[in-house]
Amino acid sequence: MLIDFRFENYKCFAGPQTLSLVASNLKDQGGTIDSSSGLRLLPWIGLYGANAAGKSATLDAMHEMRNMVSESQVSWKPNGRIPRSPFILGDDQTEPTLFEVNLEVGGVRYTYGFSFDEKRFLTEYLSAYPEGRERVLFARDATEEGSFQFGRHLRGENRAISKLTRPNSLFLSAAAQNAHEELTPLFNWFTQDTQFLSSSNQDERIAYTAFQLGEEEEVWQDRISDFVRTADLGVDGIRVDTRRIPDEVWSQAVAEVPEDELVQIPREIPYLELLHKSVTSAEPVPMPLGWESRGTRAWLAMAYPVLWTLRFGDLLVIDELSASLHTTLAAFLVGLFSSPKTNPNEAQLIFNTHDTNLLTCVEARRDQIWFAEKDGASESHLYPLTEFRPRKNENLERGYLQGRYGAVPFLDDARLFNIVDGSA
């Protein structure tokens, strides 16, 4: 479970920012999660703000941290530059970027983070709190000789793995690649227990859903069918068929596989179709996905990731939750994470959205609403709704649209008039 995420010097954010899922002391309705470390955590938080205020950048930072843990040791070139998106509007471009998470894995709370520039990871650190007291498991400081220090509680081939860790790769990534038993669960939280969704990877997610249905149809067929039916899209069910890859496409794919890699390119791929009720027959009619509405495809693309997350108690991060979705559907999805009946395994959801209707359609605690706002110096900042101490039954949508909490766009009416008038 995620406790909080902290980052610094990333895209439109210059100073340190923290996005927290720790519940406040407000006596609001809405369930919380009792963590093993005694913290009360939130099952979801929603992030609001004007365009270009930093909502997507916040989720991008989380995704970037995940990718660095997953790929730095196994995929990056040994002498390659570290991909970095620092705040570029300031005076000093040499300041490092920082990512850090507080989380629980296997009932133990951890703090893991690292800082980096374009050439190397400058610091990397991991502490555990098995009994509420900090145990430093390892610390890395590239500015010192013998840059790795290991705590006595971290068993494993730590020194040997540290020698395999390149300046531009993370020790956690290298440890997982070398089957470090104690660090692999933390690595798996990043790579397996956290999913990121956006409208840009919608087709990819539908294709993956088709693949999973082909592999485990008996597990997911009914679940995904019910999820799609719930949305009142006129869909009666789903079907997975196979399509043969055209010979020229298959031949090209085979030719691009290196000779030293034993990769088999399948001749057929699974293809998912939605079944619709026929007006003339008792048999449902399959409809090509290209004929379905954007909203239908958006809902279908969310089916497998949402159901997987709820089933296994993972973390789901969605950029633009309401893209192509009616407010009622978005509220329904958030509600799945709110209810212990549909979320018995204490999964978590983080999303951003422009849909202010959700502020009234979803039963939200006041500490579940966050904002991103850009100041006069073009620096973005994160802050929770609770900073404004809204009344318990306050109309949050109206208050937000009236600018009571900030994080709304400022429209220059005079400039707009000049543009429309043609005098600009």
Q: pLDDT confidence of 220, banded at 50, 70, 90? A: confident
| Residue pLDDT, tens place only, 54-86 | 999 999 999 999 999 999 999 999 989 999 999
Residue 407: per-residue pLDDT: 86
Q: pLDDT confidence of 341, banded at 50, 70, 90? A: very high
Cα(13)–Cα(306) distance, rounded to whole angstroms?
A: 29
Q: pLDDT confidence of 420, banded at 50, 70, 90? A: low
Whether pLDDT at 251 is above 90: no
Q: Which residues contact 243 (CB under 8 A, 6 or more apart)?
A: 268, 269, 271
| Residue pLDDT, tens place only, 155-204 | 999 999 999 999 999 999 999 999 999 999 999 999 999 999 988 878 88
Cα(317)–Cα(320) distance, rounded to whole angstroms?
A: 10
Q: What SS3 state is found at 117?
A: coil
Average pLDDT over every residue of 247-260: 74
Residue 374: per-residue pLDDT: 93
| Homologous superfamily of 1-193+313-424 | P-loop containing nucleotide triphosphate hydrolases (3.40.50.300)
Cα(115)–Cα(113) distance, rounded to whole angstroms?
A: 7
Cα(141)–Cα(114) distance, rounded to whole angstroms?
A: 10
Do 1 and 104 contact (CB within 8 A), yes or no? yes
Cα(6)–Cα(62) distance, rounded to whole angstroms?
A: 9
Measured between its terminal Cα atoms, the distance across the chain in Å is 53
Domain(s) labelled CATH 3.40.50.300 in the chain stretch across 1-193+313-424
CA neighbours closer than 13 Å in the CB half-sphere of residue 67: 12
Residue 413: per-residue pLDDT: 62
Residue 315: per-residue pLDDT: 98
Cα(99)–Cα(5) distance, rounded to whole angstroms?
A: 8
Of all residues in the chain, what percent carry a pLDDT higher than 90? 58
Q: pLDDT confidence of 331, banded at 50, 70, 90? A: very high
Do 400 and 359 contact (CB within 8 A), yes or no? yes
Q: Which residue has the higher pLDDT, 130 or 418?
A: 130
Cα 387–chain centre separation: 25
Tell me the two tokens of residue 72: 């730095």
**How much is the mean pLDDT over the chain?**
89
Residue with tokens 């939280």: 189
Cα(305)–Cα(301) distance, rounded to whole angstroms?
A: 8
Whether pLDDT at 262 is above 60: no
Of residues 95, 89, 99, 118, the one with CA closest to residue 61: 99
| Residue pLDDT, tens place only, 271-316 | 888 888 888 888 888 888 888 889 999 999 999 999 999 999 999 9
